[in-house]
Structure 1
Amino acid sequence: MSILALQAFFRRIDNSNKFQFVVIAVIVLSALSIGAHTYRLPAWINNTLLILDYSITVFFLLEIIIRFLASPSPGAFFKKGWNIFDTLIVLGSLVPIGGSTILLARLLRIFRVLRLISVVPELRILINALLKAIPRMAYIALLMFIIFYIYATVGSIVFVNINPELWGDVGIALLTMFRIATFESWGAIMGEVMTVYPLSWTFFISFIFLATFIFLNMMVGTILDVMAKETRNVERETTTKDQMVATVQDIDALKAEILELKALLIQKNQH
């Protein structure tokens, strides 16, 4: 068997829906086995889970090797970020469970669940959209920090005598504003301040309106916008690939027809 034929064979395995389903099933099984280790189980079950863990590790290693061999070249394989991500997780799983590395090995095996992201296309779209939205979200986060800082400074100046544990300085006040933004006991904090400053509700309500209803919705809107663009790009790439496959099939059909016509012409000339 030639190298190209062997590569095509591994590519068919890698693109097989059944193979992808098996990979997903093994990832889920790996997550369940890691969770089972957190319970107190009989020795025979622990030994069974240990054998299962080694089997899963070997399967993931073989799966990465198949994907590597199915790739046109090593450079093409490592050019994709998801392949590097999967390779690092699999290499981390090779740390043996036992001795001084048992804790590290179990912690590294937890991350095998993340392989679902690289296997399921829809999850890849979500992560790609989130990564692409980070630069835009950074500016929104900066604007949020400015608002947090302004309100925290005002609170630490005006409300410090009411409760120094909440408004003692800007750092403590920032934590207090974060509690208010997450609605954690914000009513009690506002009620305590309102006993001294009855109109202080405007301070808290305006902050909640800005921090929760405006800036958080801006972040959600940014992520949704990037997700919509990412989805359109994936659909466009899929459509292009389908068109290319259809074009190749049409070319093959035309070649077959031309060969048939040539054969008919040769037969007529012979007669």
Structure 2
Amino acid sequence: MDLESQAEGKKEAEADDMLRSGPRPIVPYSSMFCLSPTNLLRRFCHYIVTMRYFEMVILVVIALSSIALAAEDPVRTDSSRNNVLKYMDYIFTGVFTFEMVIKMIDLGLLLHPGAYFRDLWNILDFIVVSGALVAFAFSGSKGKDINTIKSLRVLRVLRPLKTIKRLPKLKAVFDCVVNSLKNVLNILIVYMLFMFIFAVIAVQLFKGKFFYCTDESKELERDCRGQYLDYEKEEVEAQPRQWKKYDFHYDNVLWALLTLFTVSTGEGWPMVLKHSVDATYEEQGPSPGFRMELSIFYVVYFVVFPFFFVNIFVALIIITFQEQGDKVMSECSLEKNERACIDFAISAKPLTRYMPQNKQSFQYKTWTFVVSPPFEYFIMAMIALNTVVLMMKFYDAPYEYELMLKCLNIVFTSMFSMECVLKIIAFGVLNYFRDAWNVFDFVTVLGSITDILVTEIAETNNFINLSFLRLFRAARLIKLLRQGYTIRILLWTFVQSFKALPYVCLLIAMLFFIYAIIGMQVFGNIALDDDTSINRHNNFRTFLQALMLLFRSATGEAWHEIMLSCLGNRACDPYANASECGSDFAYFYFVSFIFLCSFLVSPGSCASVCCFTHLIVHISCWFLPLTHVTTQADSMF
């Protein structure tokens, strides 16, 4: 038995090694109990799955499927566009079903290493495809619950996630995010524990006290009966008195958790604070400033959560991002800083600086002058003074003051023009334009000269309005970035960080895409009302509008009001085939989106930048000793 178990263990280890390395061979186990590794059908499926362009074709189908999802009309469900997209969805689902079936035949189902259902990504594919197939079956039968069909169709938004496992770098970023959430699980538990404690305290303090009467003259619930005259509208109308509850309250722990989470995002908390200090007793309306001492509760809450826990949570995620990046090269003998510095040295492109060989020529003397530190300091001083002059402009200035600023602008433009001329003489035309900074300086000078000429012409010709040329004046400030070694290194670090952002941005874009499609499917048919947060400027009617709404929510701008406007029992668009729209799913939808944006978008971007900040000192040690000018006219610097 020991020999058999050892042989079995060795066989599984060899199978795992084969799965991890090179082109994947066929799994050395029977698939579905009847298809051996030599079975012709299984070998044919394995051949298709391992074809060179198979994954690329699936990626293209995923992209087309995602575009089709974004193009759907959430209001007119029976429109011709949706009918065309429905047949396209049949094709996409057929392709994904074919992919799933041949992979099941190739890999087997579950009982051996490398089987289909032992990979979480394959399980995700199975859920998405099965949901689409069941939705098609339900839509073909009359009398089925329409909400069930809509819920199953929402699973289609998970299709873009199939791209993660097919792009190694994107998968590495995703794994880093998942692992970071695992590592901060302890701090998340403490976070939820303290949130629960504050929620329980809030329930004890404010339960049943966030009610009010629509007639402000009535304080007690028993008096809030009958009708009253409403003078706030253009016409005086008799309105029924109603005993209402504020949108955010503390009547139970769940509502307290939602209210406190909203407060922690910095949205709507002044109004919640006002309702808290105005709260009196149960079955009694608010009284302004009734218990001002309760504001201490919110001060303590803000110190504990937004100022402490949230920052610790974000910091731990950033640290985990960096640690996960180090694990990739854990077997290397060099540390992270040394590897990064060597990578920089290998990929760096040495720049050249021209130097005239004839030291007696006028060109050499000009070159000596323009590369001297005094000249550089003078140019920096002129840029600083030009900045001050740009700040001196204000509305309705006297004519003499405007004339003085115009003359100063001409003086600075002349100085920067002279700088360009001297450098062209010193370096030569070709060598001058080899430097991107010199090209930028030259374009800025040309734009500034054009600005001066157009300004003079515009005084006599009102039809010429090229005010955008004044941007060239502000562009001179960018010249400061090339002055000074430290500034250039910081600028280099900033540029390098963008190279690490694409896959982080792609993951964030995928998050926005999924939530935008879900929003269109669930909230797209809500009637537009300018008195609510779902209006003609802010809605889920189209994919672009949904993205803009989510971007607004991600910035924290009144996301809680949008959430309230998407709740159930809302009026539907006249063209929608429904009597009631919206859903209480909005609570989970917006809270989860804000949570993911707060703890993924910002930490992910910061982590990408932080990965390059450690290079500054090491690049300095490598870079400065190579700064010299050779007598051959070309040198490293």
TM-score, L = length of structure 2: 0.35
Equivalent pair of 1:86/1:118 in contact (CA under 8 Å): no
Structure 1 segment 101-120 matched on structure 2, within 5 A? 103-120=467-484
Higher helix proportion (structure 1 or 2):
1
Tell me if the contact between 1:27 and 1:113 (Cα under 8 Å) persists in the aligned partners. yes
State the AA in 1 paired with 2:491.
I
1:7, CA displacement in angstroms? Answer: 4.3
Deviation by residue 1:169-198 (Cα, 9 ceiling, x = unmatched): 322221111111111111212233356645
2:611 counterpart residue number: 225
Uncovered stretches (5+) of structure 2, i.e. residues with no partner: 1-356, 459-463, 529-534, 570-582, 631-637
Q: 1:98 — aligned with what?
A: 456
Per the alignment, residue 60 of structure 1 pairs with 416
Task: Name the structure 1 match of 2:431.
Answer: 76
Deviations 1:93-127 (A, max 9, x none): 11123113663542322222222222244333333
Mapping 1:1-271, distance limit 5 Å = 3-5=358-360, 6-71=362-427, 73-95=428-450, 96=453, 97-100=455-458, 103-162=467-526, 164=528, 165=535, 166-194=539-567, 197-198=583-584, 200-229=586-615, 232-241=618-627
Q: Which runs of 5+ in 1 are unaligned?
A: 246-271
- C-alpha distance in 2, partners of 1:192/1:38? 43
CA contact (8 A) 1:92 1:108 kept: yes
**1:8-49 alpha-carbon deviations (Å, 9 max, x no partner):** 433443343333232122112223333434433222222222
Q: Which moved more, 1:214-223 or 1:180-189?
A: 214-223
Contact kept? 1:125, 1:227, Cα under 8 Å: no
User: Percent of aligned pairs with the same residue?
Assistant: 25
User: Which one is further off, 139-148 or 232-241?
Assistant: 232-241
Cα offset for 1:163?
5.5
Q: Alpha carbons of 1:31 and 1:179: their partners in 2 closer, same or farther (altered >3 Å)? A: same
**Cα distance in 2 between the residues matched to 1:8 and 1:228:** 39
Q: Matches of 1:232 and 1:39 in 2, distance apart? A: 49
State whether residues 68 and 74 of structure 1, in contact with CA within 8 Å, keep that contact through their aligned partners in structure 2.
Answer: yes
CA distance in 2: counterparts of 1:62 and 1:69, whole angstroms? 11
**TM-score between the two structures when normalised by the length of structure 1:** 0.75
Matched residue count: 242
- Contact conserved, 1:128 with 1:230, CA < 8 A, in 2? no
Preserved contact between residue 60 and residue 90 of structure 1 (Cα < 8 Å): yes
Structure 2 match to 1:252: none
Query: C-alpha displacement at 1:141, in angstroms?
Result: 2.0
**Aligned with 1:148: secondary structure?**
helix
Secondary structure of the 2:404 match is helix
Q: Partners in 1 of 2:439 and 2:621 — Cα distance? A: 24
Cα separation, 2, equivalents of 1:87 and 1:234 = 29
Aligned to 2:186: none
C-alpha distance in structure 2 between counterparts of 1:226 and 1:14, whole Å? 33
Question: How big is each residue's C-alpha offset from its partner over 1:215-234, in whole Å with a ceiling of 9 and x where there is no partner?
Answer: 33222222232344366435
SS of residue matched to 1:167: coil
**Range that drifts further, 56-65 or 137-146:** 137-146
Is the CA contact 1:152–1:174 (under 8 Å) kept in the aligned structure 2? yes
Q: Secondary structure of 1:4's match?
A: coil
Deviation at 1:83, TM superposition (A): 1.5
- CA deviations over 1:51-103 (Å, ceiling 9, x no partner): 211111111012223333443x5433322211211111112111123113663
Q: Which residue of 1 aligns with 2:181?
A: none
RMSD: 3.0
- Structure 2 Cα separation of the partners of residues 104 and 193 of structure 1: 42
Instruction: Kindly provide the CA deviation profile for residues 125-160 of structure 1, in whole angstroms up to 9, marking residues without a partner as x.
Output: 333333333343223222222211110111121123
